[in-house]
């Protein structure tokens, strides 16, 4: 569903992502980890089409993000780290805009919007202008919008920022359910516990390179450290004396 084919991206002289090759299958929840400045956000931005790779190609459901961005976006849902909304639209109007953008019929859009309003418990404030929302409310609305068209691929950039524990639980349950149904999730996070709990595979990025790719069990095995947490493994791997790729 997601393919990074020898992807590199530089910012001036700095190589933010270097020769990244990665394939994520249908129904997989993948967590990308790494310290600040490792290249996670750059990778996510290339995956959603905001950045174009300097070299290589990124594909979603077979659609190249540079050559056929529109085709790829039909399959994508995206939750950015900072919610982007229209202040002067109500939550419901925003969801209608997204539904219309994905070409949903009126009947489908109505039922999907009601469904997501219920899932994310937006009913109380769905008809208020977004300018009056708190950060957590905005984030829940963005989640609802990203689930609206049942995307094949969901991209999440630090998804739990601003959410209260109940909303975090809702999101986790939804992600688990949707991945079981075949949705692919690509998530960048610093919340290691969440990655450990939810991810099928993790990737650890350091200075633009994928230092590790596999399951948490494989990471333990590779680092010859048994019965330890992902946090320990992560700190060990991202330390200056960590494993070489």
Partner 1 sequence: MTGRKPGHDTVRPLPFEAESRLFLRLRATLTWETIRSMVRDSRLRLTLVVLLSVMFWGSLYGLFVEAFAFLDDLHADVISLLFNAFFSSLLVMLVFSTGILAYGGMYCSTEARLLLTLPARAEMIHAHKFREAIWFSSWGFVLLGSPMLAAYGVVRHSAWPYFLLVLPFMISFVVIPAAVGSICCILLVAWLPRLRLHALSAGAIAACVAAGWLGWSMYSRVELDTMSAAWFERTFARLAVTEQKFLPSWWLSSGLIEAARTDRDGRMSAGGLGESLKFLSLLVANAMLLQMFAGWLARVAYRRGYSQLSGEVPARRRRPQGWFDGFLGAAGFAAGRPLRLLLVKDLRLFRRDVSQWSQFVIFFGLLGLYFFNLRSFNYNNAYASMIGFLNLAVVGLILSTFTTRFVYPMISLEGRRFWILRLLPVHRDQIVWSKFIFSFVGGLIPCCSLVLLSDSMLGISWRLIAQHELCCVVLCMGLSGIAVGLGARMPELRESSPAKISSGFGGTLSLVISSLFIMVVVVLAAVPTHLFLVTHALGPGLGAPSGVLAWAGGPWGTATSLTLVVAVGLLATFVPLLLGLRAFRVLEA
Contact positions vs partner 1 (CB under 8 A): 9-12, 14, 45, 48-52, 66, 69-71, 73-76, 78, 80, 82, 84-86, 88-89, 93, 97-98, 100-105, 108, 112, 129, 149-152, 174, 177-178, 181-183
Q: Which is nearer to partner 1, 5 or 236 (CB)?
A: 5
Of the pair 102, 223, the CB lying nearest partner 1 is at 102
How far apart CA 219 and CA 238 sit, in angstroms, is 13
In the bound state with partner 1, the residue whose beta carbon lies nearer, of 112 and 220, is: 112
- Least CB distance to partner 1 at residue 228 (A): 35
Closer residue to partner 1, CB minimum distance, 46 or 237: 46
Residues 61, 230 contacting (CB under 8 angstroms): no
| Least distance (Å) between residue 144 CB and partner 1 | 14
76 or 205: CB nearest partner 1: 76
- Give the shortest CB-76-to-partner 1 separation in angstroms: 7
Residue (47 or 202) nearer to partner 1, CB:
47
- Report d(CA 178, CA 74) in Å as an integer: 17
Closest distance to partner 1 from the beta carbon of 173 (Å) = 9
> 14 φ, ψ to 5°?
-90, 130
Q: Minimum distance from CB of 60 to partner 1 (Å)?
A: 12
Q: How far is the CB of 152 from partner 1 (least distance, A)?
A: 5
């Amino acid at each position: 569903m997601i393919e990074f084919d020898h992807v590199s991206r530089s910012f001036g002289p700095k190589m933010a992502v270097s020769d990244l090759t990665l394939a994520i299958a249908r129904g997989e929840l993948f967590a990308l980890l790494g310290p600040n400045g490792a290249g996670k956000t750059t990778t996510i931005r290339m995956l959603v089409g905001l950045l174009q790779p300097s070299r290589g190609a990124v594909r979603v459901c077979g659609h190249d993000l540079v050559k056929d961005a529109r085709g790829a976006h039909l399959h994508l849902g995206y939750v950015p780290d900072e919610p982007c909304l229209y202040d002067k639209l109500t939550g419901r109007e925003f969801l209608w805009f997204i539904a219309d953008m994905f070409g949903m019929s009126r009947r489908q859009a109505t039922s999907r919007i009601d469904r997501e309003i219920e899932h994310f418990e937006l009913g109380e404030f769905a008809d208020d202008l977004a300018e009056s929302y708190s950060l957590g409310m905005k984030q829940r609305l963005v989640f609802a919008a990203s689930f609206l068209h049942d995307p094949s691929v969901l991209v999440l950039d630090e998804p739990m920022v601003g959410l209260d524990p109940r909303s975090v639980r809702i999101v986790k349950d939804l992600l688990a359910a949707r991945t079981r149904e075949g949705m692919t999730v690509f998530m960048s996070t610093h919340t290691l516990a969440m990655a450990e709990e939810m991810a099928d595979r993790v990737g650890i990025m350091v200075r633009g390179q994928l230092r590790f790719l596999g399951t948490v069990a494989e990471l333990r095995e590779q680092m010859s450290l048994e019965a330890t947490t992902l946090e320990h493994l992560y700190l060990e791997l991202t330390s200056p004396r960590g494993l070489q790729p």
